[in-house]
């Protein structure tokens, strides 16, 4: 099959190679002339035979909007555009309407696999009309991993990117869980080989995963992660996942907490913790580091003899005014 591919970065370039290895003809365009097969989008479209398919792999937002707008003027009725980037599903609906007015089909494809996709294949979550999706099945089959899994026609336009968004939200939470476990293991004196503990989990445990394998690889490179700064960006899809949960009244406590943890990582001197420290000091708590804040009544505590008071107690402490201890949860079955 013949395919135009716009955007030849790490993923797009590897996808071009994987498709060519499977026998497909791929004409690639990128602003970097060193990797591009043609000089412009116009040249790319001219090189393709009708009905044309152009797969877009550029950053979500303005870059994708711009490419789709250009393709809308260059392609003809019966052609198809595939957005394989990390666009928001609501953008898919707009693009499908814009292209559909000109008789051009639109398919959204959530793509997962990163830099390993060339060798291992890409997981594909696809949205769009059945006719358009079915015509592209040879391309999807070439890109996905070997075997029966790794590809799904998730539903109508927007479903592919929505599924990929939820996938990335789950990824946020899984990363956060591994990170929290690692920090706790590093903190205690009794565990002196945290890296090998993580390695021992790679076989036979219920938490084994590709992310765990990558964590072990990272610890092999830098056993205590001393070369890294504790700062984590977010791609935007975690935010979209939480927003979709709010819109649909679906509780996502783990994914939401993992997103907020990334926000916290960007604060070298947390404004929120300044307020918490100030309140603890006012209530007669421990001394505040780096500042001397007055008040609080000293010694016994400004909130009375019970210390910090109900509003600032930890969840593991007492949780009711009659000071009855909370009941411990029953152990899980695994």
Quick one: which of 14, 62, 7, 57 has its CA closest to 31?
Answer: 7
Question: Looking at residue 310, what DSSP letter applies?
Answer: G
Catalytic residues, by residue number, are 164, 171
d(CA 139, CA 22): 9
Q: In what order do the strands lie in the sheet with 123-128?
A: 25-29, 2-6, 53-56, 80-83, 105-112, 123-128, 151-155
Encoding tokens for residue 221?
A: 């490179």
By the 8 A CB rule, do 107 and 126 touch?
Answer: yes
d(CA 113, CA 42): 30
């Amino acid at each position: 099959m013949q395919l135009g591919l716009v955007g030849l970065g790490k993923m797009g370039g590897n996808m071009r190679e994987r498709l060519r290895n499977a026998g497909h003809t791929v004409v690639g365009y990128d602003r970097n002339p060193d990797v591009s097969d043609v000089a412009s989008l116009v040249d790319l479209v001219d090189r393709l035979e009708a009905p044309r398919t152009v797969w877009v792999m550029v950053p979500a937002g303005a870059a994708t909007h711009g490419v789709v707008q250009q393709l809308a003027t260059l392609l003809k009725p019966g052609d198809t555009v595939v957005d394989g980037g990390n666009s928001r599903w609501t953008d898919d609906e707009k693009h499908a309407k814009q292209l559909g007015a000109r008789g051009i089909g639109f398919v959204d494809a959530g793509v997962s696999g990163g830099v390993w996709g060339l060798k291992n294949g890409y997981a594909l979550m696809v949205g769009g009309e059945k006719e358009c999706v079915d015509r592209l099945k040879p391309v999807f089959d070439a890109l996905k991993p070997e075997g029966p899994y790794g590809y799904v026609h998730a539903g109508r336009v927007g479903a592919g990117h929505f599924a990929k968004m939820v996938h990335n939200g789950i990824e946020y939470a899984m990363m956060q869980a591994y990170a929290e476990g690692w920090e706790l293991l590093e903190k205690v004196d009794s565990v002196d080989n945290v890296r090998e503990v993580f390695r021992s989990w790679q076989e036979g445990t219920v938490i084994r995963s590709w992310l765990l394998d990558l964590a072990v690889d990272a610890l092999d490179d830098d056993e205590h992660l001393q070369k890294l700064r504790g700062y984590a960006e977010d791609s935007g899809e975690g935010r979209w996942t939480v927003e979709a949960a709010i819109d649909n009244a679906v509780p996502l406590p783990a994914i939401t907490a993992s997103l907020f943890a990334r926000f916290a990582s960007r604060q070298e001197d947390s404004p929120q913790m300044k307020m918490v420290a100030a309140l603890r000091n006012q209530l007669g708590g421990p001394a505040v580091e780096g500042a001397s804040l007055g008040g609080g009544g000293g010694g016994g505590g400004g909130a009375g003899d019970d210390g910090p008071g109900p509003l600032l107690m930890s969840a593991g402490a007492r949780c009711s005014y009659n000071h009855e201890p909370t009941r411990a949860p029953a152990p899980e079955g695994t």
